[in-house]
Structure 1
Amino acid sequence: MKQLLKNKQFVFVLQSELFSVLSFSMFMITISWYVVDVLHHPQYLGLIMAAASIPRMFTMLIGGVLADRIQKSKILFGTRLIHGLLIGILLVGHSQDALSIWLLLIVSFFIGCFDGLFFPALSSLVTTIVSQKQLQSANTLIHSSQELFFLIGPIAAGAILHYFSFSATFTVSIVAAIISACFVYPGFIKDKKPEKPEVKVTFMTELKEGYRYLRSSSIYISAISIIIIVNFFVFGPMFLSLPILAEQLGGNALDLSFLEAGFSVGSLSATALLLFISFRKNRGKMVLVFLLASVLSLGLFSQIPSLGWLIPVAALIGFFGFFTYIPTDVIIQEKTDPAMMGRVMSIVFLASTAFDPISQTLFSSLMTLGFSARFLLAVFASSGLILAIVVFAKAKKWRNMQ
């Protein structure tokens, strides 16, 4: 950890990501409250969230190719500046009383697009500025900081909205985005520029190369299967069920915040432990054991009739889920050719971000057919458990990985 924190390149990248998360989380809570409290159109809130998340899934693939072609710090610097500029459009719109649903949809769409370029560049940059032995600590420090600032951002935005105005929150979000860009200014990071290929190839050709590269190894297939199971069968349904279970059990908004905080405490505890514990033996088997534990915890979560007991079980899900996800991410980075890192990590990020909304859409659709949230949680947990057992049995190379 001392060596890692003496690495100026990494510290700059970490600080940039903290301000980036602060900016984004404040932006999301601000526009959510604006839609509900000012425009009085809560029915459009899901559409705005989708406008910010769906394009990210597609531009991540483009971002992976760009990260292998262009200096990664340039991508981070440019996308953070554009992020601040887009929020500035909302600030101007609000000051001119022209901040409509349509403007929110358009700006959210473009923010999602540029975020898709940002994440593959961030993940692949980390592998070039820290040693392989430091990858777990570096990734864990980034993830734990993200989780912390995803808690701080909404609280800060809520306080500013309460005491000041929407313009104030937009302004703070813009400043945070600009500070984020400054920390990853290419002149500070000085990361190497990727070598230009002797023969020019198209984007589609490079995407196909990345896909074939992943398909060439059973380790990558196992890793992506693990990430999909965690997101589709555990995180997606659990997050959607929190307000439903809180309401069914007679809880209020404070009880809901405790449930969400329980998950955050569990995930932060996992990341804190991973900062100081470096697993170098039986990592593959350990990840699979925690995968099984996470889906079993969701099954337990589906059967608990008390709000008080739901909170510690939500913490268990966060703990086991992050102990599954972060080491898997590190193993992928260790096994990947640096020349393919951007494309590989873009597909990994796609697997980790695309399946949450798909899972939640399916969960909601099944509820409209009359199935209860508890029943569906049990079904998702059972299905995830079966798939996790199949992966455990079939993924011999992953299971025997040291």
Structure 2
Amino acid sequence: MTAVPLAEPAVHPAHRDPQVLRWLGAYTASTLGDSVYYLALSWAAVTSGTPAQAGLVMAVAAVPRALLMLFGGVIADRLGPRRVVIASDTVRCLVTFGLAALLLLASPGLWALAAVALVFGAVDAVFLPAVGALPPRIAGRDQLARVQGMRGLAYRMGSVLGAPLGGLAVAVGGTATAFGVAGVLFALSLPLLAALRLRPLPREDETGRGTALSDLAEGLRYLRRHRVLGPLMVVVLLSDLGFTGPLNVGLAVLAEQRGWGASGIGWVLAGFGVGAGGASLLLTVKGHIPRTGVVMGWTMVVGAVSIGALAYVPHLAFAVLVALSIGLLAGFSGALCNALIQTECDPAYLGRVSAVAGLGSLGIAPLGYPVTGVALGVWGPGPVFVVSAAVCALSGVYALAVRAVRRAELPKT
């Protein structure tokens, strides 16, 4: 089974295509809003309860996101990704404005924060698959790699700038102001999204005729039978399982043992972010990477070596350099994987395929955090990082071993 092209490639390259630039502006504003929202939520939760209660509030969003994401992909494919993204950002805008007003008028406590977190988790379950399904509807197949690179740059910008912006808003006007700023950023995305004009699907008049369950089952059958996409889902899951534990749990333990402190964690994460941003920039500029499947597999394997090495670096400066290499290699392989998913998938199924791919990192991989924490306490960072690196390397080896993935190519620009 192969992808069904929507239309001829766009006349303009992605970085000069008005459609792509509108989408990119909306995505950047939404990502900034997310970063400000999460900082404001965590600060409000910490100041309103105990650390354990704050952790529970922050974790609440993961439940509806994991439970509903597959059906979120069905909704994105049925209603169209633009409608779903507009509706999602509208809900997030109204909810954050409402919480800002509530905080100004009263002290609602943790229950209100938990309710907002639940709403955001449910919205994420439909928003994330829809975001993944949008690029092929606004850009030609030969530009999708560049679009993924631009998306990576926008995501890094949102992560880097959003936290300081949220912190400044909290310092100036408290958490109510920070939630208000997040609402404004969500609102900024709406006119840009409304101005998008999507290409029609080849079989758009045939979509959405079954039940949600039948549509989901059809999408899973499509994935299982596809010679490239099915194995790519295994690659994504293995890389997420191996990557997220050390970076989200193990890094804090490593910094504590090395005496780097919280600032050391920040420097290591900054190195990772710079590397990942560099990978996105490279893909944006190049557009086409020859022998895409082979390059993706080997960068996963080499990046896994860097993950294992991070646990054995004694000095912070060297750890930052290793983190930069992890970000560059993992970011590049991840961007190539996403670009292959975009170009190989029939756009009519892309919402459901994006949901399956996202479920690994947002639903399944976080379940391993407690296991990683226990293992860190028993064996220490070294063995845990090595095992995690081995899982990441396995994802690259599997990509190289599957002939269809190894021979997969991005369209030439």
Which range, TM-score by smaller chain? over 0.9
**Which of 13, 16, 20 is residue 23 of structure 2 equivalent to?**
13
| CA gap 1:199/1:401 in 2 versus in 1, 3 angstroms | closer
* Number of residue-to-residue matches in the alignment: 397
> Could you tell me how far apart the structure 1 residues matched to 2:49 and 2:66 are?
29
> Could you tell me how far apart the structure 2 residues matched to 1:392 and 1:246 are?
34
CA contact (8 A) 2:293 2:399 kept: no
Which deviates more, 384-393 or 331-340? 384-393
1:385 alignment partner in structure 2: 393
SS of corresponding position for 1:299: helix
1:346 alignment partner in structure 2: 355
2:50 alignment partner in structure 1: 41
Q: Is residue 291 of structure 2 the alignment partner of residue 296 of structure 1?
A: no
1:281 alignment partner in structure 2: 290
- TM-superposed deviation, 1:303: 1.6
| Post-superposition CA distance 1:59-103 (Å, at most 9, x none) | 321221122211322111111010011112321331233332121
- TM-superposed deviation, 1:199: 8.5
Q: Is residue 34 of structure 2 the alignment partner of residue 27 of structure 1?
A: no
SS of corresponding position for 1:184: helix
| Post-superposition CA distance 1:157-186 (Å, at most 9, x none) | 11222233222111111111111122212x
Q: Is residue 323 of structure 2 the alignment partner of residue 314 of structure 1?
A: yes
| Post-superposition CA distance 1:358-385 (Å, at most 9, x none) | 23232023335x2312321122223433
> Could you tell me how far apart the structure 2 residues matched to 1:118 and 1:390 are?
30
Q: Is residue 136 of structure 2 the alignment partner of residue 127 of structure 1?
A: yes
Q: Is residue 194 of structure 2 the alignment partner of residue 155 of structure 1?
A: no
- Runs ≥4 in structure 1, deviation > 3 angstroms? none
Which deviates more, 310-319 or 231-240? 231-240
> Could you tell me how far apart the structure 2 residues matched to 1:183 and 1:342 are?
21
1:171-320 matches, within 5 Å, as 171-185=180-194, 188-192=195-199, 195-197=204-206, 200-320=209-329
Identical-pair percentage: 24
> Could you tell me how far apart the structure 1 residues matched to 2:244 and 2:304 are?
10
CA contact (8 A) 1:237 1:359 kept: no
Structure 1: where are the runs of 5+ without partners?
A: none
CA contact (8 A) 2:78 2:208 kept: no
Query: Match of 2:40, as an amino acid?
Result: T
CA contact (8 A) 1:71 1:193 kept: no
Query: Match of 1:143, as an amino acid?
Result: G
2:6 alignment partner in structure 1: none
Which deviates more, 271-280 or 207-216? 271-280
> Could you tell me how far apart the structure 2 residues matched to 1:70 and 1:260 are?
37
Which deviates more, 174-183 or 201-210? 174-183
CA contact (8 A) 2:138 2:197 kept: no
Q: TM-score, normalised by structure 1?
A: 0.93
SS of corresponding position for 1:285: helix
**Which of 55, 71, 75 is residue 62 of structure 1 equivalent to?**
71
> Could you tell me how far apart the structure 1 residues matched to 2:395 and 2:191 are?
44
| CA gap 1:5/1:339 in 2 versus in 1, 3 angstroms | same
> Could you tell me how far apart the structure 2 residues matched to 1:265 and 1:280 are?
21
SS of corresponding position for 2:311: helix
Q: Is residue 384 of structure 2 the alignment partner of residue 376 of structure 1?
A: yes
CA contact (8 A) 2:239 2:395 kept: no
CA contact (8 A) 1:238 1:377 kept: no
| CA gap 1:107/1:91 in 2 versus in 1, 3 angstroms | same
CA contact (8 A) 1:263 1:314 kept: yes
Q: Is residue 406 of structure 2 the alignment partner of residue 399 of structure 1?
A: yes
Cα RMSD of the aligned pairs, angstroms, is: 2.0
> Could you tell me how far apart the structure 1 residues matched to 2:214 and 2:142 are?
32
Q: Is residue 90 of structure 2 the alignment partner of residue 81 of structure 1?
A: yes
Q: TM-score, normalised by structure 2?
A: 0.90
Query: Match of 2:281, as an amino acid?
Result: A
> Could you tell me how far apart the structure 1 residues matched to 2:95 and 2:404 are?
46
> Could you tell me how far apart the structure 2 residues matched to 1:375 and 1:104 are?
38
Which deviates more, 143-152 or 85-94? 85-94
